[in-house]
A and B are shown apart, each in its own frame.
Chain A
């Protein structure tokens, strides 16, 4: 399976709290992209903070398109050394040999392992060359504060594989690692 990192990001590189800046630019096309993405995902891999946010929001939700059902039913792996319980349906905690456990996941047959949010985990995955694709929905806004997707000391050469612009001014940037 491939690891796909999918993010909402501002023009100044912030990924934190997209609920505070992304709604204004939401379109049906973006909704369709996110739905299609989830439907072609077999597994979600999350950091603790994003996992806890999702786990407190999704179990209560339903929608006609089946997005919430899929979120709730699919297997979730949460990477954390401190988390004791992962009660959201179909969740597993990875708390040791993290790179090895994730590599084992990747060796399983299937489509995509999706990583959303989870900046600290993304950094770890990049450092261990485990990311196969980045999908960055880049919003036409500068927020001036919040956690950045790429923090200091995190470096990568990428290959642009596709772009798409949405009517609201959001740009989807898709990159693969440039493994020369």
Chain B
């Protein structure tokens, strides 16, 4: 069955907010936007390449979808997700027209996502989307966590893991990059 793979840039204190740019997401007064930039290494791109090669679908929360859409809808040539089918989960959005090839999921999102995973196809990738990922982790719907762990303690911001949920994992890959970023891949242990 196709897997749901969560990719995140994450600090040592578990923060995933605004990794790429200063103004990406300043909610809650977050002032560290763009914290991944000094640590870029081509291996990070190569890891994305590996994940993308086995995937054909992108699943996002509204805010991350809006951010990606705003960046890539006007620049189709630079859209790394150009060939992907996109799903955005939101109860407030009216349509998913703002980014091509997108479908809106509203109502019982968990049920819809379960249906999605049972359909034939390649893997489903998620990034950003802290609220949606919290919900998916709580419902045991995440099949792999691919984390680029940065040598930073940010001191606050949106975190990847929800409160109150225990998850046993299995480490499937660990690689250190020369810029001090660690690539850690985990699968849930389901008994």
Contact = CB atoms under 8 A, between A and B. Distances in A.
Contact of B152 (A140, A157, A169): A157
Interface in A142-180: 142-145, 148-150, 152-160, 163, 165, 169-171, 173, 175, 178
A149 B13 CA distance: 8
Contacts of A140: 168-171, 186
A158 B169 contact: no
A169 B153 contact: no
A140 B163 CA distance: 16
B14 A12 contact: yes
Contacts of B160: 12
Interface residues of A, number: 31
Given A157-B152, A158-B152, A163-B176, A11 B12 contact: no
Contacts, number: 91
A47 interface: no
Nearest to B174: A165
Contacts of A141: 166-169
Interface string B150-191: 011111100111111111111100101000111010100000
6 contacts: A145-B164, A155-B152, A159-B180, A160-B151, A169-B171, A171-B174
Interface in B99-148: 137
B171 A154 contact: no
Tell me which of B163, B168, B182 has the highest count of chain A C-beta atoms within 10 A of its own C-beta.
B168
Given A140-B169, A171-B182, 9 more contacts: A11-B186, A13-B14, A141-B166, A142-B166, A154-B153, A163-B174, A165-B171, A169-B171, A173-B182
Nearest to B160: A12
A12 B166 CA distance: 10
Contacts of B182: 160, 163, 171, 173
B180 A144 contact: no
A10 to B, nearest CB: 9
Nearest to B169: A140
Nearest to B177: A160
Nearest to A164: B174
Contacts of B171: 140, 165, 169-171
Given A13-B13, A144-B165, A150-B13, A169 B170 contact: yes
A152 B162 CA distance: 16
Given A12-B161, A13-B13, A163-B182, A158 B153 contact: yes
A178 B13 CA distance: 16
Contacts of A136: 12
A4 to B, nearest CB: 16
B14 to A, nearest CB: 5
A165 B173 CA distance: 9
A105 B169 CA distance: 40
Contacts of B155: 150, 152-155
Contacts of A155: 152-155
Tell me which of A150, A163, A165 has the highest count of chain B C-beta atoms within 10 A of its own C-beta.
A150
B1 to A, nearest CB: 23
B70 to A, nearest CB: 29
A140 B145 CA distance: 11
A26 to B, nearest CB: 14
B159 to A, nearest CB: 8
